Amino acid sequence: MAPILTVTNLTKKFSGLVAVNDVSFSLNQGEILAVIGPNGAGKSTLFKLISSFLRPTTGKVTFEGETISGRAPHAVARKGVVRTFQEATIFKALSVRDNVLVAHHLRSRAGLAGFFLGTTRARADEAEFARSTDDILGFLGLKDLADAEAGSLPQGHLRALGIAIGLATNPKVLLLDEPFAGMNHDETMRAVQLVKGVRDRGVTVMLVEHDMPAVMKISDRIVVLNFGQKIAEGTPSEIQRNQAVIDAYLGSEDESIGI
Amino acid sequence: MEQVLVNGLYLGAQYALIALGLTLIFALMNVLNFAHGQMYVLGGFVTYTVYGQWHLPFPVALVASAVSLALIGALLEKFLFRPVIRRSKRDESTMLLAAAVAFLFDAIILLVFGEKGRGVPKILNGVLNTGTIVIPYDRILVAALAVVFIAGFMAFMQFSKPGRAMRALAQDRTAAQLMGVNVNRYSNFGFALGALLAGLVGGLLVAIVGVNSGIGGAISTKAFLMVMIGGAGVVGGAIAGGLVLGMLEAVGLTVLHAYGDITYLVIFASLMIFLAIRPNGLMGKPWG
Amino acid sequence: MMSDRLQIIGYAVFAVVMLTVVPFFTVLAGRNDYLYTFTLIALLSIASAGVWITFAIGRINIGQSAYALVGGYVSAILVATYGVSFWLSIPLAGLFAACIAVVIGLPILRLRGVYFSMVTLVSTEVARLSALALPITKGAKGMVNLPMPGPIAIGGITLVPDFATLENPRIAFYYVAIILMLITFLLVWRLMRSRIGQLFVALQQNEDLAQSAGIDIARLRVIAYAISSFLGGVAGAVFSAVSQSVYPSSFTTQDSINFMLNCFLGGLGYVFGPIVGTFVLRFGWDLLFQAQRFQLLIYAAILIGLMLVLPNGLLSLIPSRKGAKR
Ligand SMILES: Nc1ncnc2c1ncn2[C@@H]1O[C@H](COP(=O)(O)OP(=O)(O)O)[C@@H](O)[C@H]1O
Ligand SMILES: [Mg+2]
C-alpha cells in the first residue's frame, strides 16, 4: 500500500514545552490508523499540525507527495485533509441539514456571485449538495433529525453530525479527534461501524481515541505517543504486547490500556 | 521635560484607576461597560453635592461617592446584566445593554444636575515650585491618593478572600464554580467594586477639574483605550494603559500642541494599528 | 413558518405604502418635516443594514459612522469640487468606502469580540480627525452649500429632473432615500437567503469549524465587511446631498452606537430588523419630544425594558418559527 500522507520529523514547541517531538510515520491509502497516548501526549496537537491549524516548529507533512504544512487550513481541507474537533463542534444555530449543506461549500463550482444571482451552475451545485446531504444524513442515521436545530442534539448525535460535516467536504483523509468520547458502550459500537463504513466509502481515516476496546476493534494500525514522542507503531496485537506502551500507560494514573 | 513627565504621571494615576474598574468588570463578566464614564460623572456629582453643597469634609464626600456607586453597580448587575446574560444567546446583548444604561445615566445626570459644569472649593492651596517643575499641592494630593487606592485595590485582589475568589472567576468561570466559588455573589461584588472605583476617581477629580454632565461618553472611550492598550481584563495592563495614555496626552498637550488635531489623529491611527497587530495589548492574555 | 412568499408580499405592501400612501398624506397635511424624518430614517436604516451584516458574521461593528463619513465626503468632494454627477457619486462613495474596508478589514477582522469592536470604535474617531485635518475636506467648517442633484437623462428623455428646479425637493429626496432603502433590503434579503448568507451564519457560529470544512473565512469576512461599509458609504453620500453639507461631526460614535441599537431592537436574527429598529427608535425619539426634559430618560428606560423583555428584538413578536429568520 502506498502512503497517502507522511509525517516527517514533526516537532511543535509551545514556549518551552515540546508538545510534539520529532514524530514520523505515514498513513496508508484506505486504512484506519489510531493515535493513542495518555492525556497531554500531544495527539490533538498532532492533528492540528496535520490539518495545518498549527504551524510546525520543524518537520513537515506531505499529502499525495505535496507539502501541506504551512498552508492555510482551508486550503489543506480543499486538498482533501479534513479534521473534526475534539469538542463536539458544529454550527449550533443552524439546522442539522444546513450544517451539512454549508460544509459542501468547498465542492462548489459556481462562485459566490453565482450563488447570489442564482445562476444555472449555482443551482446545479445546490441540487447536488442537497442530494449528497440526504445521502450523508441517511448514512449516519440523522435523517429524521434533519430539521432539528443542531445545538439541541444529544451527545451521540452531535458526534455523528461532526462526522457528517467532515464527510460533506468529500475528504480523502478524515482526522477524527476522540469521535467516541461521551458515548456509552452501545453507542460506541454503533459508531465504530459508522467509521468503518466511512472507510469503506474510500476515505482514509486517522483517529485519536481513548476507548481501547474500540481502538483495538477498529484500527488497522496504531501509533502511540507519550510526552510528544512516538514510542511505538504497529498492529493492534503488536501494540498490546509492546513493553514501552504498557509502561507508559502504567506510569500514568488515570489511563488504562484495558489489557 | 520634567514638567511633562510629572503631568503625565499625574494624569496616568487617575486614568489607571478608571481603567482598573473597567477591566475588573470585563474580566469577571465579559461585559464592556459603556456606562463606566457615566459612573465616573455620577461619582463626581456625589462629591460635588456632599463637599461642595453640604460643606462636609472632602474625605466624607469621597466615601459617599464610593458607596453610592458601589450600590448602583450592585443593583445594575443584579437586575439588568445578570438576567440579560442568562437569557441571551449572543454576547453583543450585554454591550448594547451597557450602551442603553449609559443613555439612562446621561439622562438622569442631566435631569438632576443640569448642563452646567460644576466646581468645588480647593482642597489644598499653594503650589510646589522646584524651578524645573510647577505643580499645585492639590494635584499632588489627588495623585497620591490615586496611587494609594490602586495599591489598596491590588492588595485587596491579592490577599483578601473576595479578591482571590474574583481572580479565580476571572481566570476560568466554570473551574471557579467547580471549586465552590459563589459565582453570582462575586460577579455582583466585582461589578460593585468596578463601579466604586469609577465613582472614587470622579470624586477625586471634582477637586481639580470639577464635573460636567456631558463628559461621560468621552471618559468611557478613554477608559476603553487604556484597557485595550494594556490588555483587556488584566490588572497590570490597566495600570500600564493608564500610564501610557496619561503620558501620551501630557506629551501631546505640550510638545505637539502646535500641530493641533494632527496629534490626536496620529495617536488614534497608531493605536488602531497597534491593536490590529497586538489585540491583547501590552500584557493581555492570549485570546480567542 | 412564514414562507418566502409571505415575506415578499409583506415587503411589497410595505414598499407600496412607503411610495404612495405616506408621501400622499404627508404632502396633503403639509408636513415637510415628516418627509424629512422619513428620508433620514431610510438612510439610517441603510447604514444599519451594513452593521447588521457584520453582526451576521459575528462581529460587533461600532465603526459604521466612519464609513458614512467617508461616503459623505467622497460624494461631496466629487460633486462640489470635481463636478461629478451626484448620481454617479453614490456608487463611487460606496465603492471607496468598501475599498477602505478591505484594506482595514484584512488585519482587523482577525480580531473577535470586544477586540474587534474597540478597533472599529477607534476608526470612527480616526475618520473624524482625518476630516478635521485633511485640506480636501475643509476642516471643522465642513463642506457646505453643496449643489442639488442634477438631472438624469437618457437619449433626450429626462428620467429624473434637476432637483434645483423642483418646487419641493424634499419629496424628491424622500423618494431617492426610500427607493434606495427598498433596493438595499431586497438585495440583503436575497444575499442572506443565498448560500452566502448560510456561510455568513456559519462564520458567526464557529470560524474554526468553517475553516476546517475548507471555507476561506478570511475572504468571506472581508466581503461581508466591504458590503457593510459600502452601505455605510451610500447612506453617507445621500445624506450629504439631503442636508447639502457634511461636517466632521455629521456621523459620530454616538451614531455608530445607534446603528447597533437599531439592529438589535429590530432583531439580529431578521434581515428586516434594521428597518423596524430604525423606524421605531427614530420615531420613538421624535414622539418623545413632547416629553421635553424627560425625553432621553424615557427613551433609555424603554430601550432597557425592551432588552429585558424582548432579547431577540421586536420582530420576534411575529409568531413564526423560523419565518423571517436569516
Ligand atoms: N496552544 C497551546 N499553547 C500551549 N500549550 C499547549 C497548547 N496546546 C496544547 N498545549 C500543550 O501541549 C500538550 C499536548 O496537548 P494535546 O495535544 O492537547 O494533548 P492530547 O490531545 O494528547 O491530550 C499539553 O501539555 C498541552 O497543555
Ligand atoms: Mg486531545
Q: Can you spell out the DSSP letters for B179-240? A: TT--HHHHHHHHHHHHHHHHHHHHHHHHHHH-B-GGGHHHHHHHHHHHHHHH-TT-HHHHHH
Cβ(A43) – ligand 1 distance below 6 Å: yes
**Largest Cα–Cα distance of chain B, in whole Å?**
61
Task: Judge if the beta carbon of residue A38 lies within 6 A of ligand 1.
Answer: no
Phi and psi based region of residue B209 (left: phi greater than 0; alpha: psi -120 to 50; beta: remaining): alpha
Tell me the domains of chain A and their CATH numbers: 3-90+169-252 (3.40.50.300), 96-152 (no CATH)
Environment class of A127 (CB within 10 Å of its CB; exposed 0-12, middle 13-18, buried 19+): exposed
DSSP state letters, C67-101: HHHHHHHHHHIIIIIT---HHHHHHHHHHHHHHHH
For the entire predicted model, the pTM comes to 0.90
A–C CB contacts, 8 A cutoff, strictly below: 86
What proportions of chain C, in percent to the nearest 5, are helix, strand and coil? 75, 5, 25
- Nearest beta carbon to residue A115 from set C196, C201, C206: C196
Q: How many CB atoms lie within 10 A of CB C321?
A: 7
Interface check for C4 against chain A (CB to CB < 8 A): the answer is no
**Residues A126 and C195: beta-carbon distance below 8 Å:** yes
pLDDT at B179: 86
User: Structural domain boundaries of chain C?
Assistant: 4-317
How close, in Å, is residue A190 to chain C by CA atoms? Answer: 25
Which chain C positions have a beta carbon within 8 Å of A102's beta carbon?
A: 195, 198-199, 201-202, 210, 213, 215
Q: Is the separation of the CB atoms in C125 and B270 below 8 Å?
A: no
**β-strand B134-136 against B127-129: which pairing, if any?**
antiparallel
- Cell 419630544 found at: C289
Q: What is the pLDDT of residue C285?
A: 87
> How far is C200 from chain B, CA to nearest CA, in Å?
15
Longest dimension (CA), chain C: 60
C-alpha separations of B125 from B121, B131, B135 in Å? 10, 19, 11
Interface of A with C in 213-252 (CB under 8 A): none
Q: Which of A53, A78, A112 sits opposite C214 (nearest CB)?
A: A78
Chain A residues in contact with C193 (beta carbon < 8 A): none
Up-side HSE of residue A119: CA atoms within 13 Å toward CB? 11
Backbone angles phi, psi at A4, to 5 degrees: -95, -30
The highest-confidence range among A1-5, A123-127, C147-151, by mean pLDDT, is A123-127
Residue C199, chain A, CB below 8 Å: the answer is yes
The 3-state DSSP class for residue A32 equals strand
The pairing of strands A221-226 and A32-36 is parallel
Q: Which atom of ligand 1 is nearest to the CA of A45?
A: 17
- Ligand 1: residue of A12, A15, A17 to mutate (most ligand atoms within 8 A of CB) is A17
- Predicted pLDDT of residue A250: 62
How many Å separate Cα A34 from the centre of its chain? 10
Residues sharing a CB contact under 8 Å with residue C262, sequence separation 6 or more, in sequence order: C44, C45, C48, C51, C274, C277, C278, C281
Q: How far is C219 from chain B (nearest CA, A)?
A: 17
Between chains, do A74 and C209 touch, taking CB under 8 Å as contact? no
> Could you write out the DSSP letters of every residue in A83-96?
E--SS----TTSBH
The partner residues of A60 in beta bridges, in order of sequence, read: A8
Q: Which residues of A touch C204 (CB under 8 A)?
A: 93
Q: Tell which residue, B192, B284, B194, B274, has the closest CA to residue B240.
A: B284
CATH of C4-317, one of 2.20.25, 1.10.3470, 1.10.10, 3.90.1580: 1.10.3470
Partner A contacted by C1 (CB < 8 A): no
- Indicate if ligand 1 lies below 6 Å from the C-beta of A45: yes
Long-range contacts of B74-78 (CB under 8 A, 24+ apart): B74/B188, B74/B189, B74/B191, B74/B192, B74/B195, B76/B35, B76/B101, B76/B191, B76/B195, B77/B29, B77/B187, B77/B188, B77/B191, B77/B192, B78/B188
Strands A204-208 and A32-36: parallel
**Which chain A residues are Cβ-neighbours of C205 within 8 angstroms?**
91-94
Q: State how far the Cα of B100 lies from the Cα of C104, in Å rounded to an integer.
A: 28
Q: What is the pLDDT of residue A88?
A: 66
Angstrom distance (rounded) from CA C169 to CA C148: 9
Q: What is the pLDDT of residue C325?
A: 40
- Give the residue on A whose Cα is nearest the Cα of C214: A74
A199-237 residue pLDDT tens: 999 999 999 998 888 899 999 999 999 999 999 999 999
Nearest-CA residue of chain A relative to C203? A91
Q: What is the DSSP letter of C165?
A: G
Chain A residues whose beta carbon lies within 8 Å of the beta carbon of residue C199? 102, 105
Q: Which three cell numbers stand for residue B136?
A: 499645585
The tens digit of pLDDT for each residue in C103-136 reads 999 999 998 888 899 889 889 989 999 999 888 8
Cβ-based neighbour number of residue B253 at 10 Å: 14
Shortest alpha-carbon distance between residue A81 and chain C (Å): 9
Asked if A102 lies within 8 A of C198 by C-beta distance, the reply is: yes
Question: How confident is the model at residue B259, as a pLDDT?
Answer: 67
For position C324, what pLDDT does the model report?
42
Tell me whether A52 touches chain C (CB under 8 Å). no
Closest CB to B269 among C112, C126, C296: C126
B neighbour chains, 3+ CB pairs within 8 Å: C
Residues of chain C with C-beta less than 8 angstroms from the C-beta of B83: 308
Q: Do C208 and A112 touch (CB under 8 A)?
A: no
Cell numbers linked to B221:
472611550
Least confident interval from A35-49, A78-92, B139-153, C242-256: A78-92
Per-residue cell: C207: 470560524
* Cα of A88 from ligand 1 centre, angstroms: 18
Query: Which ligand sits nearest to residue A41's alpha carbon?
Result: 1
Sign of the dihedral through C-alpha C262, C267, C269, C273 = negative
Neighbors of chain C with 3 or more C-beta pairs under 8 Å: A, B
Low-confidence stretches of chain C (pLDDT < 70) are: 1-2, 319-326
What local confidence, expressed as pLDDT, does residue B132 receive?
A: 84
pLDDT tens series, chain B, 288 aa: 788 888 889 889 999 999 999 999 998 888 889 999 999 999 999 999 999 999 999 999 999 999 999 999 999 999 999 998 888 767 778 888 999 999 999 999 999 998 888 888 888 888 888 888 888 999 999 999 999 999 999 999 999 999 999 998 888 888 888 888 899 999 999 999 999 999 999 999 998 888 988 889 889 988 998 988 888 888 888 999 999 989 888 887 777 666 666 777 887 888 888 888 888 888 776 443
pLDDT of residue C246: 96
Chain A: give the shortest CA distance to residue C53, in Å. Answer: 15
Characterize C21-32 residue by residue with b for buried, 16 or more Cβ atoms within 10 angstroms of its Cβ, and e for exposed.
ebbeebbeeeee
The ipTM estimated for the assembled molecules is 0.88
CA–CA dist A77, B167 (Å, integer): 40
Ligand lying closest to the C-alpha of residue A46: 1
> Is the pLDDT at A11 greater than 90, yes or no?
yes
Is the distance from the beta carbon of residue A37 to the nearest atom of ligand 1 less than 6 Å? yes
Question: Residue A140 pLDDT more than 70?
Answer: yes
DSSP C147: P
CA distance B155 to B174: 25
Which of C119, C133, C257 is closest, CB to CB, to B272?
C119
Q: Is the CB of A58 under 6 A from ligand 1?
A: no
Asked if C14 and C153 count as a contact pair (C-beta separation under 8 A), the reply is: no
Contact yes or no for B111/B234 (Cβ under 8 A)? no
What's the mean pLDDT when you consider all of chain A? Answer: 90
Sign of torsion over alpha carbons C275, C279, C282, C288: negative
Q: Which of A10, A45, A252 to mutate to test the pocket of ligand 1 (most atoms within 8 A of CB)?
A: A45
Q: Check CB contact of A100 with chain C, cutoff 8 Å.
A: no
Question: Backbone phi, then psi, for A101, in 5-degree steps?
Answer: -60, -45
